[in-house]
Amino acid sequence: MHGTDELGGLGVTTFDLPSDREVRITRVVAAPKQLVFDLHTKPEHVPNWMLGPSGWTMPVCEIDLRPGGAYRYVWRASDGAELTIAGTYEEIVRPDRLVSTEVLSGDLPPTRNTVTFHERDGRTTITTTVRYPSPAVRDAAVRTGMRDGMDASYTRLDAYLAGLEPVPSPDGNAWPLQEIPPGSKPSTDD
């Protein structure tokens, strides 16, 4: 899948290399884009799904969602190992687009990440484009567990969405969530 307006691919994470300095990750989820945007930007939700491979937790999730605001995520593995990602938001167009810098703990230099959310027929396509400072840095990042970690996180996002029910607010700007007891979510199949 190369365009954000293509429908399909529900539950499948795709990775491609659109240039020698970029990685593009695409995932389609069964939820409205406002809700998906909120699940990417609210600290009460991010640690429930953005965990990477099994065995990791996110004990620190700090988000100051405004241009110039910072974010910081700290993941901890069951063996005590930690991974930190931090950055600054450069652009926020709710609920369509996020642009930020990102610095991963370790030896990789900063990246510029653009995440877009495009809704069609009740599904949202999430497209993340990560731009690296050089082809060598991009290639080093591709060799890490990035692909498996992002796919595992998006699989968790699908499960998290299945256990939440969006409740539209009267002004249409917020999507508060309520937990749905297992087995009681109404079918949306007609």
- State the CATH number of the domain containing residue 70: 3.30.530.20
As a whole number of angstroms, the distance between CA 111 and CA 119 comes to: 26
DSSP H or E segment with residue 168: none
Using the structure block, give the residue that is written with the tokens 């917020």. Answer: 174
Task: Let me know the angle formed at the C-alpha of 75 by 181 and 130, rounded to the nearest 5 degrees.
Answer: 100
- Of 55-64, 75-84, 171-180, the one with minimum mean pLDDT is 171-180
Q: In the predicted model, is pLDDT for residue 144 greater than 70? A: yes
Q: In the predicted model, is pLDDT for residue 178 greater than 70? A: no
**Cβ-Cβ contacts under 8 Å for 101 (sequence gap 6 or more):** 87, 88, 90, 110, 111, 112, 113
Please confirm whether the linkage preceding 176 is cis (ω < 30° from 0). Answer: no
Q: In the predicted model, is pLDDT for residue 6 greater than 80? A: no
Tell me if 179 is assigned to some domain: no
Q: In the predicted model, is pLDDT for residue 180 greater than 50? A: no
- The pair phi, psi for residue 78, each rounded to 5°, is -60, -25
- The pLDDT, as a whole number, for residue 165 is 56
Tell me if 151 is assigned to some domain: yes
Copy the structure tokens of residue 51.
Answer: 């965990």
Is the model more confident about 62 or about 188?
Answer: 62
As a whole number of angstroms, the distance between CA 82 and CA 34 comes to: 31
Share of the chain above pLDDT 90, in %: 66
- Of 31-45, 91-105, 154-168, the one with minimum mean pLDDT is 154-168
Tell me if 41 is assigned to some domain: yes
Q: Which domain holds residue 85?
A: 13-167
Q: In the predicted model, is pLDDT for residue 99 greater than 70? A: yes
- Per the prediction, the chain carries an average pLDDT of 85
Q: In the predicted model, is pLDDT for residue 184 greater than 70? A: no
Tell me if 149 is assigned to some domain: yes
Tell me if 187 is assigned to some domain: no
- Please count the structural domains in the chain: 1
Report the chain's C-alpha Rg in angstroms.
Answer: 17
Copy the structure tokens of residue 81.
Answer: 């190992």
As a whole number of angstroms, the distance between CA 148 and CA 135 comes to: 21
What average pLDDT does the segment 82-106 reach?
94
- The pLDDT, as a whole number, for residue 186 is 38
Tell me if 103 is assigned to some domain: yes
- The pLDDT, as a whole number, for residue 1 is 36
Tell me if 117 is assigned to some domain: yes
For the entire predicted model, the pTM comes to 0.81
Copy the structure tokens of residue 126.
Answer: 């999430």
Tell me if 178 is assigned to some domain: no
What average pLDDT does the segment 37-66 reach?
94
